[in-house]
Every structure is written in C-alpha cells, then in structure tokens.
Amino acid sequence: MKKNTARWALPVLILMLLLLPIAGAAAQGGEPTLYLPVVSKAPPPPPPAVKAVGPSGGTFTAVVIDPDDASILYVGTFGRGVYKSLDGGLNWQAANNGLENWTIQSLTIRSSDGMLFAGTYGSGIYRSSDGGLNWQPVNSPADGILEKLIVYDIEIAPSQPATVFLSGRTQGECYSADCELFGYLYKSTDNGLTWARVWDSQLMFTNGDYSYDIEVDPTSEQIVYFTAHRNGVYKSVNGGSTWLAKQAAPLDLKARKLLIVTSPPNTVYNSTYATAGVYKSTTGGDGWAVDNAQLPSPLYGFALSRDTQNPMDLYLGTGDKGVFKSSMPLDQPASWQPWGLPSSFIWAFAQVPGASPALYAATGGNGLQYSPDGSANWQARSQGIFNTNITALVNFNGALYAGVNGGGVSKYDPNGETWQAVNSGLVNLNVQNLLVIEGGLYAVTTTDLYVSADGLNWTVARSMPVSAPGGSTQPEAALPFGERNALPDEEQFLLQPQAPDSPLEGLVTPLGVSRPITSAARNWKGFWTGTAGGGIYRDGQYCTYSGRTIYAMHLSQADGSLYASLTGDSGNPYAVIKWKDVYSNNCGDWDNESISNTVLVYSFASNQARTFGATNTGIYYKNISTTTWVKANGISDTVHAVAFDPYNPNLLYAATWNGAFISTDGGLNWTQAPKAELQGREFFSVQVDAANPNIVYFGSRNGSTYRWDKTLP
C-alpha cells in the first residue's frame, strides 16, 4: 500500500502546483491564468525593426536542373548568390556556404554525379560536391588572373566528364565599342582541381576580346567552340590547344551564344548582338547563313536552347525582346515566333529532362520564369528570393507601389507582406521611375511613358515624342539609366544607343529620330516630358534643348516653379534649369540655376519650405525665393531620392549609394540611419508609409524593398 501511495505522490503534487494559478486568479475575480513551466515554449522573438519584404525576383544569370531529379533546381543570382529548390522552384533556400562572392555569372551541373560549378563576377570559379551545401574555390594554380576572372560560362565535356572548360574576362567598365577588356579560356582535366590557360585574347587582338560562351561537342571533347565578343566564332579540333577563326566580315562578328546540334550532324547555331540575331552552320562552323526569319531587326540575340524531346523546337532568348521559338525541322530554315516575356533580357534556359516540354528562363530583372508546357505562358518561380532592383517607390491611392527594373510595377499589401504584379498593358517591364502627377500613376520605362488611373491597368501616356524640327546630325545621348541597371557593365553599354554623348546647345534632333522619355511633370501650362538626347517637350511637341538628356523634372511645392536636370552645353557636363513661368507660349524660356557643372541631379523633391536636389555628390537645397543652392551637411555620396514625413516637415529620409540617411532639421543636416541593416546598401528610392509615418521603405539595387519600423528596437 505504501508503495502505491509513493508511486502516485509525485504526479499528484505536480498537478496541484499547475492548478494553483487557476484557483488564485479565479478567487481574485480575474480570468484564470495557467502557467505551465514544465511544458511551455519560449515566447517568440520580437519582429525585426528592418526587414526585406520584396517583391521577389531580380536578375538571375543561370539556372540548372538536377539530371536525376527534375524537381531539384539551382539558380545563380546577380547579387544574392546561389539558391536551391526541391520542388520545381516553388520554394527556395540560399546555398551560399563557402561562397565569398554572391554575384554569380554562370552555373553548371555534371550529369554523372551532380557536381556543381559556379562562376562568379570577379572571383573566379567555385565547386560543390554536396548539392550546394558547401562551396570551395577551385582557382589553382593561382596565376593572378583566374581567381579574379568574371566567369561567363562553364562547360563539362559530355564524353569526358572530368574535363571542364570555362570562359571569362578581366573586370572593367565598357562604354565604348573598342574598350580593352581581356578574355581567357581555361581547361581542367581533373574535375576543376587544376586549370591550364588555353586562350589569351591579349596574344590575338590589339584591344583584347572575351567570350560569353564555350561549347564542347557532345561526341568528342577534342572539338570545342567559343564565341568572341566582337570577333566571331572560333573552333578547336585538339581540345583547345589551337584555335581557328570560323567567321569573317561581313558577317555580324559580335557573337554571343552557341548551340551544337548532333542531328543533323555538324549543325551549330550562333546568336549575335548587332544585326543578324541568329546564324546557322551545317558544316561544323565552316560556313554560316543567317537564320532569322520573322525576327525583328536589329536584334540582340543571346541564349539558345533546344528541346531534346521535341528536336524541332528551338528557343532564342534576346537582350531586350524576350523569347522567340522556332518549330521547323532542323534541316530547314527556322521560322521564329514571339514566345513571351517581351521586354526581358534572357540570360539562360534550362530544359526539363524527360518527356515534358517544360522550360525555365533566367532573366535580367524578372526573376526565374517557368513555362510548364512549352507554351508562351510563363509563371514566376522566384518566390522568396529578394534580388529585385527597386528603381522607385511611391504612394498612390493609399498603397505603396514599387517600380522594378525588368519586373514592371508591383503593389504592396502590408497586412500579408505580399506583392501583386500590376503589369496589365505595361509592355516594357524595364521601369526606371514612377511618378504621381495629378491623380495619375506614371511609369517611366526605357522606351515609353505609361499611365494608370487605377494602379492596375496601363496605357501609353506619351509614346516616343514627335521628332524635333531641323536637319542636324547630332548623335543620340546615352540613356541615363546605367547606374540603375543590375546587368553587368558591358551589358549596360550594349543595351544603350551606340553613339557618343556630346550634346551642344543649339543643335536639334534630326527628323525621324525619336527619343525615350526619361522624366515628366505638369504645371499650369501643360504636360512636360524630358527625353534621352532629345531635350524637352511640352504636350508632345518639341520645346527646347535638343541633343540634351533630361534626367529629372519637378514642379516645386516651395515656389511653384518647374525645374529640370540635364546634360550641359560644351565643356559643362550637367546643368539645372528653371522655367521662367512667363505668361506666354515660349516654352523654351528657362533660367540657368545650376548647382555646379559637375553636379548631376538625379531627382528633385520639395515641400513648402525648400526644394531639394538628390545629386552625385550629396544633397543640395534651395530656400523659397532664392536662386542659390546650398549643400546639406553629412552626405557626400551619390543620393538618388529624398522623401518627407507627411506630418513632420523637419523629418526627411534619403536613399543613397551608401545606405539610408535621415534628417531631423528640415534637410539641413543628415546622419546615417541608426540600423545596421540600412547602412552600406545601395538604395535608389525611399517612401514613407501613407498610413503610418513610423514605417519607412527603402528600395535597393539588388535586395528588393527594406521596411523600417521605427517603433521597434
């Protein structure tokens, strides 16, 4: 009996202790409270004050599929490293352990054992033998070049899996057609452990060259091709020991990507940049013919892919016109049809193995896209990867909208921290800015200006402006969006007009030449638009400053004046002007109010007290009724945007090239935001929440939107 009593004593005691808080609370007339220290969980941690909230997507330079399991994917992102999915791209996890450089330029997987190779933008090549869990640099022997190389392509020889080739170039900017960027090819015969240089562009070309692509013939690792950036296609028949040029003028020698087809034998496709779009050789590269029927011209051809289960299906990814598909027999000329993603840069394709025609496309700015049936209907498969380039944040109709370079416009729902793409009618998804003008939401893209009245549907507000009068041969100015473009430097140049920027006062745009709109504003006299290299227009008609690029226009709340930032005249890089606001029809009557001829204003902002300029050297302000700009204290970095607290005119925020800044004295003095997550990042845009001024959003270059809740520690 005593044994039984002892056996139950401890459980009864524990139960009585657990019930005591209930009795105590009930006796005091309150709601019963139960404390369970034995089984309770620790309280959840407080939410972070700064959090990346999206939208998802961004620039994905590579995508590969596990050869043994089509549901396993890997993507390389331009800024966030490598991600892995186990469910066909529905969910993702970062796979960056050991990767010291998260700017990924290329990615490949070996079919025999799933070994991964990742090429970085400036740190050579890495390898993973455990499905992306761990990475190690494999840049031996250190020759001073490979470990610093931008690796554009990695290819494994199908017939000899231990043999790996890579192509790449040294770092450097490229803003001219003949810039010196030196490229190299390397070969490994021991799974990437050691490498030997097999091509050096410095030994062949005066100004150098480099290669986007190297391809190994599936039938023999001795037959290798590579594309030279501006010198056509080269071929080796001895495993890379020697190379022979396989193209010559007048062919388009700006070669990009290759596709080797074994049936019919000796068939090779080559995409090009300048004119042709696609070439085809049926003799192993000895002769080429244009194969671009139905393609627009000129065309920047880039990625190439073939559906192995449906051999007639060829896919072409372009630099700015999306995807095209041809389904003709391969022994006949191709016939290309538009196949979706119309304004996207297509970096790479991945064809799902097996009987499925499903296809993935890695894009510049629009994330990973998926066609489950090989049709032109694409689905985003980037959820949770925050790599988007946010070029603008605005409040419109009580909601936050984000402009995404390559991804269009998205609307934010703060309740669920979700984004809705609102791109109906928005043909060009390369959004450079968003503007709210008299109840309309305007999207500035690299081609057209769009407007939305409801924040959901878009129409062209002002397409390419009508041509200016005159007959000058003034060259077109480069687009002013290079800094906002997440593509590599040389791709920014290639997507811009190929002419020097030398604007001179008094010269006008030639007849028949149109200019993309860069900025817009409205005042009492009409709707004004600024253009790239075409000056200022009012209500669609040419006004003044032809040959100049207009970076920003703004109607100041401080003095009611219309301001513009633009390229200067001869010898003066930049200028700021103010329309005189005279009661006449002379739209060209502007005053010079330049800050300095070396200070570029990226955007303006204003309240009733001051007008601000966000510039390449900090923030400048101009008090009402003055003509002098004063530099604010505390910021010397490039500033892209300024935003105001709607309830406190002394509280301002700035998005800079080196993080977020804050001012509490009306914009006169600035300090870095106190949160480490907002420091050192490249921000392009900033906006205060329309309903809660304690919430501030910052749009970043390669990390989506950051939400700062100032009420949280």
Q: What is the DSSP string of 269-329?
A: EEEESSS-SEEEESSTTSS-EE--TT--SS--EEEEEE-SSSTT-EEEEESSS-EEEE-S-
**pTM for the structure as a whole:** 0.88
What's the rounded mean pLDDT across residues 195-213? 92
What confidence tier does 416 reach under pLDDT thresholds 50, 70, 90? confident
Beginning with the edge strand found earlier in the chain, give each strand of the sheet holding 60-65 in spatial order: 60-65, 73-77, 81-85, 93-94
What separation, in Å, do the N-terminal and C-terminal C-alpha atoms of the chain show?
Answer: 59
Contacts of 17 (CB under 8 A, 6+ apart): none
What's the rounded mean pLDDT across residues 187-203? 96
Lowest mean pLDDT among 126-135, 384-393, 457-466, 623-632: 457-466
What's the rounded mean pLDDT across residues 646-670? 97
Q: How big is the chain, counted in residues?
A: 713
pLDDT at 490: 55
For 306, the token pair is 């073939």
Cis peptide before 264 (omega within 30 of 0): yes
Q: Are 545 and 553 in contact (CB under 8 A)?
A: no
pLDDT at 487: 54
> In degrees, to the nearest 5, what angle opens at C-alpha 612 toward C-alphas 607 and 618?
150
Q: What is the pLDDT of residues 549-602, one digit of tens each?
A: 999 999 999 989 999 999 998 878 999 999 987 776 788 899 999 999 999 999
Q: In this predicted model, which residue has the larger pLDDT, 501 or 204?
A: 204
Q: Are 339 and 376 in contact (CB under 8 A)?
A: yes
62 in the Ramachandran plot: left (φ > 0), alpha (ψ -120 to 50) or beta?
Answer: beta
Q: Which residue has the tokens 């005691």?
A: 13
What confidence tier does 176 reach under pLDDT thresholds 50, 70, 90? low
294 in the Ramachandran plot: left (φ > 0), alpha (ψ -120 to 50) or beta?
Answer: left
* Distance from C-alpha of 668 to C-alpha of 646, rounded to nearest angstrom: 18
What confidence tier does 17 reach under pLDDT thresholds 50, 70, 90? very low
> Mean pLDDT, the chain, as a whole number?
87
Lowest mean pLDDT among 118-127, 198-207, 277-286: 198-207
Helix (H, G, I), strand (E, B) or coil at 340: coil
Q: What is the pLDDT of residues 498-545, one digit of tens each?
A: 333 323 333 333 333 467 889 999 998 899 999 988 899 998 888 999
What's the rounded mean pLDDT across residues 349-376? 94
